[in-house]
Chain A
């Protein structure tokens, strides 16, 4: 069974600094997708970034980028120039490529931005 692990329950960073959130996963599949979702205090789930396993190039979205290490089954999220609005829970998720395509979630990392 696939699992997703986020080992950092909480991280803090100074505003304008860079922070990296860790995620590891376990799977026997070769084709899959990985996602980072952000959940602010409103509790809405917002897509941050997506990575296809077949792509070697790391995905980037403005200040957000990932370090995807397929062999190590690692998928970390880097947030550059942290802003107060980045404060949220961040969830790593794995997309199963079978008949249901459900997302499997990590436990989340709470990111605190210090002004």
Chain B
């Protein structure tokens, strides 16, 4: 099973601050995804990323969110001005090869906005 790490494991921030969540696949992957899970709620798709560009995004992924893969390795999710309702677990998922490949999830980052 492909390995992927996420940093930090827990981030506490003040409302209005910017946060960057990082996803680091251990080996080469082509397809990246961000999901979030508000405590006690369903997992929600945020965005998919392929070939260094966004391939799809959900309604949740508004202008305060952005993703990039600046160095060809780390895959980041930036939230520009955090809101209380952004408090959630954020999961990075990767797919190794083809578009039909299984998505494997990182351990998640718990974001707490105060």
| A contact residues vs B (CB 8 Å cutoff) | 33, 35, 37, 42-47, 50, 91, 93, 97, 99-108
Contact = CB atoms under 8 A, between A and B. Distances in A.
Contact of B99 (A37, A45, A101): A101
Nearest to A42: B107
B42 A106 contact: yes
Interface of B: 1, 31, 33, 35, 37, 41-45, 48, 55-56, 58, 89, 91, 93, 95, 99-100, 102-108, 110
Nearest to A31: B100
Contact of B35 (A50, A103, A108): A103
Given A100-B56, A106-B42, A47 B95 contact: no
A43 B104 contact: no
A74 B107 CA distance: 29
Contacts of A106: 42
Given A50-B102, A100-B56, A103-B35, A45 B48 contact: no
A100 to B, nearest CB: 3
Given A93-B43, A101-B48, A105-B44, 4 more contacts: A46-B105, A99-B56, A102-B33, A103-B45
Contacts of B93: 45, 103
Contacts, number: 58
A47 B102 contact: yes
Contacts of A45: 43, 91, 93, 105, 108
A108 B42 contact: yes
A51 B12 CA distance: 38
B43 A47 contact: no
Contacts of B33: 102-103
15 contacts: A33-B102, A43-B37, A45-B43, A45-B91, A45-B93, A50-B102, A93-B43, A97-B100, A99-B56, A100-B48, A101-B99, A102-B58, A103-B35, A103-B103, A105-B42
